[in-house]
Amino acid sequence: MDKPLNNRAWLFVLPVLVFVLFSSLLPVMTVVNYSVQDTMGQNNFFWNGIAWFQNLLDPSTDIGGRFANALVRNLLFSFVVLALELPLGIAVAICIPRHGWKVGASLVAIALPLLIPWNVVGTIWQIFARADIGLLGAALNGLGIPYNDTQDPTSAWATIVVMDVWHWTGMVALLAYAGLKSIPDAFYQAARIDGAGRWSIFRNIELPKMQKVLVIAVLLRFMESFMIYTEPSVVTGGGPGESTSFLSLDLVKIALGQVDLGNAAAMSLVYNLITLTICYAFFTVMTQLDRRKDV
C-alpha cells in the first residue's frame, strides 16, 4: 500500500468534472429546483416544499392518477416486451447456422432493424399500420380482422409491442448467439454420448451457459423499454386517448405541452429514481447469484 499520493492528479480529473457538471449535474439541479418551487408567471418563483411530490404520489389527485396509470402502462409494456423478446431471441439464436457463409448473412439480416434510427422505425410502422393504406393495417382489415391503431387501444398496443419486438429481438438474438458460440463442442458431444435429447441439451447446457449474456440482455431491454419514447410518440402519439401514454410521453406533454414545470420536474425525478432502483436491485441480485457460483 505505498502508492504515491499526488494531489496534482486532481487537475487531470478536472476537465471531466466540468463536462459532467454541464452535461448532467446542472440540468438535474435545475429540475430539482423546479420540483420544489411554484410560479405565478413573469419568472417569479416561490418555495413550494414537497407539495408537487405529494400530489404526484397520491393517485387520488389528477396528476397522481395520471402518473400511476402511466407507470402501470410502462411496467406492463416492459414485461410484455421482455416476455416476447427473450424466448424469441433465444430461439432465433439457436437457429442461426454455426458455420459457413450463412452465418454472416443471418447475422446481417438479424441486425438490420438495429441499424435504423428510432424515429424512422416509428415512421415505418406508422405507415405500415395505417388502416387505409398501410400494408399491415389494410391487409388485416381486408381479412376481416377489425384493426385501427388510431382508434382502438388494443390495436395501438399490439402495434407498439410488435414494433418493439421487430426492432429489438435481433439484439437479444445476437447476445444469445454470442453465448451459444462460446460453448465448446465437447459439451454437445458429451450430451450425445449420454443420449440426451434436444430439450435436455437446451435446458442443461445451452441455457446455463447463456445465463450471463441473457442477464445483460434483460437489463438492456428493460431499461430501454422502460424509457421508451420515440417510437410510440411517432406511431400513436400516446393515443388513442391515453391508452399508450407511457411515462416519457406524459412527461413531455406536461412539461412542454402544458408547461406545468413543477409537476413535470417532480415526475421526471421520480421516474428517474424508479429506473435507477429497479436497475440497482436487478444488478445486485445478479451479481450475488454470480458470486455464489464463482466460489
Partner 1 sequence: MSVVLERVGLRVGEETVIDDVTLAFERGTMNVLLGPTLSGKTTLMRLMAGLDKPTTGRILVDGNDVVGVPVRKRSVAMVYQQFVNYPSLSVYENIASPLRVAGVDRAEIESRVAEASRVLRLDPFLRRLPAELSGGQQQRTAIARALVKRAALVLLDEPLANLDYKLREELREELPRLFAASGAILVYATTEPSEALLLGGRTATLWQGRMTQEGPTPSLYRDPGNIDAARVFSDPPLNELSVSVRDGRATRVDGAALPAHLSPDLPDGAYRLGFRVENANIREDGSGDFVGKVSVTEISGSESFVHVDLGFATWVCLVLGVHDWKPGAMASVSVDPRGVFVFRQDGERVPATLAARYVTDTVGA
In the bound complex, what is the minimum distance in angstroms from residue 172's beta carbon to partner 1? 20
Query: Scanning the structure block, which residue is given the C-alpha cell 392518477?
Result: 65
Task: Choose, by CB under 8 A, the member of 192, 272, 277, 288 that binds partner 1.
Answer: 192
Task: Choose, by CB under 8 A, the member of 205, 219, 223, 278 that binds partner 1.
Answer: 205
DSSP strands (E only) in the chain: 37-39, 45-47
Task: Choose, by CB under 8 A, the member of 45, 187, 202, 282 that binds partner 1.
Answer: 187
Q: What angle do CA 141, 144, 146 make, to 5 degrees?
A: 60
61 touches partner 1 (CB under 8 A) = no
* CA 153 from centroid of its chain's CA atoms: 21
195 touches partner 1 (CB under 8 A) = yes
Q: How far is CA 235 from CA 18, 45, 118, 126, 154, in A?
A: 38, 37, 11, 5, 14
Tell me the three cell numbers of residue 272: 428517474
Instruction: Tally DSSP H helices, then E strands, for the chain.
Output: 14, 2
Burial class (CB in 10 A: 0-12, 13-18, 19+), 128: buried
Straight-line distance from the first to the last Cα atom of the chain, in angstroms, rounded to the nearest whole number: 26
Q: Which is nearer to partner 1, 213 or 228 (CB)?
A: 213
Contact mark string toward partner 1, 139..178, x via CB under 8 A: ----------------------------------------
Q: Which is nearer to partner 1, 58 or 194 (CB)?
A: 194
Share of the chain residues as helix, strand and coil, in percent rounded to the nearest 5 = 75, 0, 25
d(CA 33, CA 45): 10
Q: Which is nearer to partner 1, 36 or 191 (CB)?
A: 191
Task: Choose, by CB under 8 A, the member of 20, 194, 198, 257 that binds partner 1.
Answer: 194
Residue ranges in 206-235 that form contacts with partner 1 under rule CB under 8 A: 207-209
DSSP strands (E only) in 55-109: none
Task: Choose, by CB under 8 A, the member of 5, 11, 40, 295 that binds partner 1.
Answer: 295
Tell me the three cell numbers of residue 208: 446455463
101 touches partner 1 (CB under 8 A) = no
Tell me the three cell numbers of residue 284: 445486485
In the bound complex, what is the minimum distance in angstroms from residue 292's beta carbon to partner 1? 9
189 touches partner 1 (CB under 8 A) = yes
Query: Scanning the structure block, which residue is given the C-alpha cell 429546483?
Result: 33
Task: Choose, by CB under 8 A, the member of 40, 193, 199, 291 that binds partner 1.
Answer: 193
CB 170: neighbour CB atoms within 10 A?
21
Contact mark string toward partner 1, 72..91, x via CB under 8 A: --------------------
98 touches partner 1 (CB under 8 A) = no
Q: Which is nearer to partner 1, 107 or 207 (CB)?
A: 207
In the bound complex, what is the minimum distance in angstroms from residue 29's beta carbon to partner 1? 46
Residues of this chain that bind partner 1 (CB under 8 A): 184, 186-187, 189-190, 192-196, 200, 204-205, 207-209, 293-295
